[in-house]
């Protein structure tokens, strides 16, 4: 507790953190699964301060490592990272500081961990009794069922032979029970303490809408952004599949007077850095990005995340959408779904895989993940519940509520198909006429009366079902097919070469003869948004700080000081102090160093570095 207060300025550990720190201090293996914002880093940063032994942390990105080391140093906690941008001379110095005990936290990339040089270092530390634990951050990267599979993570298990007996702790924000098991097996965790936090994010409102064609999709995003502009500060991220789309969205939004920039891997590194920095520093409010954007983004007041297309997995969705509302305040996640989305991801994943050839298991797994994401979008089931279930947890609506009150489904923003039974029968007969040998997209094309090459060359335009659902959008028909699969009327079959067909399921004949009732539903038109009954916050009541008008004014002044410091010292504002800390200052108005230290997030080092400037502003405000 002393270390926690002194370094981070926090007065307590969250329950899962306490259990994780305990496990680490007991020298146990552990798997810690906490959602974004749950406070994972503290779980491996704190134990070295108590045990006096070093923890070596596997981290996937240089940017993440740098940020973490920077943040720790501001707290007066010496740490270092070893990666490709570190000069050999500096690396040698870091190594000797580790051995001597001047540094107790080292971050490194997985590929470096398995090099001979690094193994030697680990063995040396262990021999000197200096190695406390190995922590694996973003541990889902080890699983082909994870959304960020990184083969080099697979070799981490080798470290167990290099330093036998050294406890290993794995951390991730996204783990289905399947990924969880995979992490434990792949890393060879021994009798691990498994700690899994609650995945639901009550402060997020999830919405799914049909994406309008062309530029109207940009308009949809703009309308959503406008919903949040009124709330004042706050950023928005628009995720697109392709680089070109990020540019189109950014151009379109700028044309509507919004401050938007594109971000993708095709930009020059310095351009990327500029966009990232401007967004983090709150000088830019809208970023239209590919999924390359985000891993290191620590801006806590993102109020909106738009997916301009269906994401490639539910895990990826949870992670990307989860960048909204990290401060615990209400935020929105809007997913714009189009009929071609799953097909685009499939083509990207298949890449140059030759049609008809057997597929590697990891490719099959990725295709399965796309299918799960499609299902998530298409089933008109509470989104909070669907996400919780996906992560193996039961969902409980907030106290006193019969539903979440924070998703399109529970807010009544969906429409039931009036003609459900008839539409279902039509879809079933199309599947039958197509000899149960075609995929969902083709079935939908036939029903909509399309004239694709595939339809013409197979003579499917001559079928009696051709064009029977002409008045329905393709995305809608695909959603209905998905709903019929969930209802057991249809089922999906994937053959060895990745070709997918839709067949009759257990209840197929019953639905076809209208003996079994089915209800089909779709998202409402794009513009309509039902008002949520109240703004929700994920914070426990004790953590919520509500400001009156005067305090709000002081808060703004404190933010201005923060921005000044951030510019002068070139550190992102949130690293100086986060909003929660400034809010508490505005409320409690500390006037002495001692009082300042009692504010959550103010530790000894930051008090010395920045305390004076904030105290002065508070004092002036009090006159
Ligand atoms: P994660 O890595 O799980 O996404 P972080 O480690 O970034 O989460 O922590 C999320 C936020 O919660 C940070 O702003 C951090 O300062 C804050 N935090 C973490 N632990 C505590 C605690 N025990 N008390 C108060 N705030 C905390
Ligand atoms: Zn709901």
Ligand 2 midpoint to CA 524 (Å):
15
Q: Which ligand is nearest to the CA of 401?
A: 2
Side by side, the strands of the sheet bearing 286-289 are 204-210, 331-337, 302-307, 235-239, 286-289, 260-263
73 in Cβ contact with 23 (< 8 Å): no
Q: Are residues 586 and 489 in the same domain?
A: no
pLDDT along the chain (623 residues), means of 10: 95 93 96 88 97 95 89 96 92 95 95 92 94 95 80 90 94 86 94 92 93 93 87 83 96 95 93 90 91 74 94 92 87 94 89 77 88 95 95 89 93 92 96 95 96 95 95 93 95 81 95 93 72 57 70 91 91 87 93 95 96 94 63
Report the pLDDT value the prediction gives residue 280, as an integer from 0 to 100. Answer: 85
User: How far away, in angstroms, is 69 Cα from ligand 2 center?
Assistant: 39
48-53: long-range pairs with CB below 8 Å, 24+: 48/104, 48/105, 48/132, 49/3, 49/7, 49/77, 49/104, 50/3, 50/21, 50/25, 51/25, 51/132, 52/101, 52/104, 53/104, 53/129, 53/130, 53/131, 53/132, 53/133
CA-based torsion, 107, 14, 184, 345: positive or negative: negative
Distance from the alpha carbon of residue 385 to the mean position of ligand 2, in angstroms? 7
How confident is the model at residue 600, as a pLDDT?
Answer: 93
406 in a domain, yes or no? no
Ligand whose nearest atom lies closest to the CA of 412: 2
Do 57 and 30 sit in the same domain of this protein? yes
Q: What is the pLDDT of residue 151?
A: 84
Last residue of a domain, one of 352, 371, 390: 390
Rounded alpha-carbon distances, angstroms, from residue 517 to 285, 311, 422, 514? 47, 31, 10, 7
Domain count, the chain: 4
Whether residue 192 is found in the same domain as residue 215:
no
Q: What angle do CA 229, 233, 234 make, to 5 degrees?
A: 80
pTM for the predicted model, two decimal places = 0.81
Ligand nearest to the CA of 71: 1
Domain that holds residue 612: 545-622
What SS3 string covers 401-433? Answer: CCCCCCECCCCCCEEECCCHHHHHHHHHHHHHH
* Residue 23 shares a structural domain with residue 156: yes
Q: Is residue 396 part of a domain?
A: no
Q: Is there a single domain that holds both residue 121 and residue 265?
A: no
Residue 522 lies in a domain: no
Alpha helices in 284-406 (DSSP H): 314-321, 341-350, 361-378, 383-390
Same domain, 185 and 62: yes
Same domain, 301 and 344: yes
**CATH number of the domain within which 274 lies:** 3.40.50.300
How many C-alpha atoms does 371 have within 13 Å on its Cβ side? 22
Task: Kindly state whether residues 263 and 358 are assigned to the same domain.
Answer: yes
Contact 481, 475 (CB under 8 A): no
Q: Which atom of ligand 1 is nearest to the CA of 298?
A: 7
Residue 402 is assigned to a structural domain of this protein:
no
Which residues are near ligand 2, the ion (C-beta closer than 5 Å)?
382, 384, 404, 407, 410
How far is residue 393's CA from residue 586's CA, in Å, rounded to a whole number? Answer: 38
Q: Is residue 252 part of a domain?
A: yes
Last residue of a domain, one of 196, 229, 257: 196
pLDDT of residue 541: 47
Give distance in angstroms: CA of 402 to centre of ligand 2: 10
Same domain, residue pair 210 and 191 = no
Is residue 323 domain-shared with residue 210, that is, in the same domain?
A: yes
Q: Please give the C-alpha separations between residue 141 and each of 154, 171, 316, 391, 393, in angstroms, as whole numbers.
A: 9, 10, 12, 16, 21
Q: Is residue 525 part of a domain?
A: no
Residues 372 and 435 both lie in one domain: no
Give the pLDDT confidence score for residue 538 in this predicted structure: 62
15 and 102 in a common domain: yes
């Amino acid at each position: 507790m002393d270390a926690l207060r002194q370094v981070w300025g926090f007065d307590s550990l969250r329950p899962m953190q306490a259990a994780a720190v305990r496990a680490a201090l007991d020298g146990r293996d552990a798997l810690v699964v906490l959602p974004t914002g749950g406070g994972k880093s503290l779980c491996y940063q704190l134990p070295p301060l108590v045990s006096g032994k070093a923890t070596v942390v596997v981290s996937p990105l240089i940017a993440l490592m740098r940020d973490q080391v920077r943040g720790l140093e501001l707290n007066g906690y010496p740490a270092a990272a070893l990666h490709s941008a570190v000069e050999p001379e500096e690396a040698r110095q870091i190594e000797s500081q580790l051995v001597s005990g001047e540094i107790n936290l080292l971050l490194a990339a997985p590929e470096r961990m398995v090099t001979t040089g690094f193994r030697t270092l680990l063995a040396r530390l262990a021999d000197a009794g200096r190695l406390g634990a190995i922590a694996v951050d973003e541990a889902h990267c080890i699983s082909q069922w994870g959304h960020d599979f990184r083969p080099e993570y697979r070799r981490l298990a080798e470290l167990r032979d290099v330093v036998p007996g050294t406890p290993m702790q794995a951390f991730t924000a996204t783990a289905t029970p399947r990924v969880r098991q995979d992490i434990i097996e792949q890393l060879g965790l021994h009798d691990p303490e498994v700690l899994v936090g609650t995945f639901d994010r009550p402060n997020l409102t999830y919405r799914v809408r049909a994406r309008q064609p062309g530029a109207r999709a940009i308009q949809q995003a703009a309308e959503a952004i406008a919903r949040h502009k009124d709330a004042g500060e706050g950023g928005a991220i628009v995720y697109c599949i392709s680089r070109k789309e990020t540019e189109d969205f950014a151009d379109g939004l700028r044309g509507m007077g919004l401050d938007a920039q594109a971000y993708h891997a095709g930009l020059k590194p310095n351009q990327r850095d500029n966009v990232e920095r401007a967004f983090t520093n709150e000088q830019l409010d809208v970023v239209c990005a590919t999924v390359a954007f985000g891993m290191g983004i620590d801006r806590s007041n993102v109020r909106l995340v738009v997916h301009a297309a269906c994401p490639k997995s539910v895990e990826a969705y949870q992670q990307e959408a989860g960048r909204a509302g990290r401060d615990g305040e209400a935020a929105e996640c809007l997913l714009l779904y189009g009929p071609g989305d799953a097909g685009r991801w499939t083509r990207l994943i298949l890449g140059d895989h030759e049609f008809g050839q057997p597929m590697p298991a990891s490719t099959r797994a990725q295709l399965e993940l796309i299918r799960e994401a499609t299902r998530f979008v298409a089933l008109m089931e509470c989104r909070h519940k669907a996400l919780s279930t996906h992560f193996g947890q039961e969902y409980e609506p907030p106290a006193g509520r019969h539903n979440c009150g924070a998703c399109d489904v529970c807010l009544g923003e969906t429409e039931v198909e009036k003609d459900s039974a008839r539409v279902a029968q039509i879809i079933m007969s199309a599947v039958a006429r197509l000899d149960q040998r075609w995929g969902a997209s083709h079935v939908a094309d036939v029903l909509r009366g399309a004239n694709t090459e595939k339809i013409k060359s197979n003579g499917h335009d001559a079928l009696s079902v051709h064009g029977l659902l002409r008045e329905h959008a393709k995305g809608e028909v695909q959603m209905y097919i998905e709903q019929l699969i969930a209802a057991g009327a249809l089922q999906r079959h994937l053959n060895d070469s990745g070709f997918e067909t839709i067949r009759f399921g257990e209840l197929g004949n019953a639905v076809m003869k209208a003996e079994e009732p089915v209800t089909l539903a779709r998202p409402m038109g794009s513009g309509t948004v039902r008002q949520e009954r109240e703004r929700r916050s994920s914070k426990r009541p004790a953590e919520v700080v509500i400001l009156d008008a005067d305090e709000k004014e002081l808060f703004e002044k404190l933010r201005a000081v923060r921005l000044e410091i951030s510019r002068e010292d070139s550190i992102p504002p949130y690293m100086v102090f986060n909003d929660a800390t400034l809010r508490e200052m505005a409320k409690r108005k500390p006037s002495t160093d001692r009082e300042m230290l009692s504010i959550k997030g103010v530790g000894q080092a930051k008090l010395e570095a920045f305390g004076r400037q904030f105290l002065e502003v508070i004092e002036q405000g009090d006159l």
